[in-house]
Structure 1
């Protein structure tokens, strides 16, 4: 398993962390202070901004878990992977996305670019 594959797993784990304080600590450990997160619904910078986006998704999709979908592809200091949002109790995914994370070369994420491939109506 490459370091960037492990990084993608840690990234998804942050999205699944229910405890706000633990999630904030994990964000600080995983992202650089000036990190950015950009997807079709958000464009934020810094730990607080990233934390707010994750908290909003967790509030909107209570009872669902994020999971890496398929293989993680790493290239130098960049990682890309598809993910899905599935009911915690099991079942079909309701959201599929694709993220590209750029690291600082020292194990922290400095930018995430997200794309949504499958989104439920009204979301």
Structure 2
């Protein structure tokens, strides 16, 4: 996958409501020891912790879906992009890649 495809696949994880399907997507997109942090979470490590946080978000967000805004920049093993959550919210994520998968995601709400 190229960077844009990998980021879109990562956003698909957030949009997936079925926990088993979400974990399967995570296996191909995120490293096993992946790290996720945003203003609500100091640092979630691994697929199960992130999947649980996503399930909780689904109860709060209803039918809103994440989509890629703009891929702002890519260098070395990192990328910066914006995302949209329906018309309700936007934010920025910095992702770090390792071995063709995402190793860490640091999110910011706009």
Q: Calculate the TM-score normalised by the size of structure 1.
A: 0.82
User: Structure 1: where are the runs of 5+ without partners?
Assistant: 87-92, 118-123
Alpha-carbon distance in 1 for matches of 2:105, 2:15: 17
5+ residue gaps, structure 2, are none
Structure ID, larger Rg: 1
Which residue is 1:89 aligned to? none
Deviation at 1:64, TM superposition (A): 0.7
Structure 2 length-normalised TM: 0.91
Q: Give 1:12's aligned residue.
A: 11
Within 5 Å, which residues of 2 pair with 1:1-123?
Answer: 3-42=2-41, 43-86=43-86, 93-104=87-98, 106-117=99-110
What is the count of residue pairs matched by the alignment? 109
List, as ranges, runs of 4+ consecutive aligned residues in structure 1 with deviation greater than 2 Å: 70-73
Deviations 1:40-81 (A, max 9, x none): 001210111111121111121111111111235221211111
Distance in 2, Cα, partners of 1:102 & 1:56 = 24
Question: What is the alpha-carbon root mean square deviation over aligned residues?
Answer: 1.4
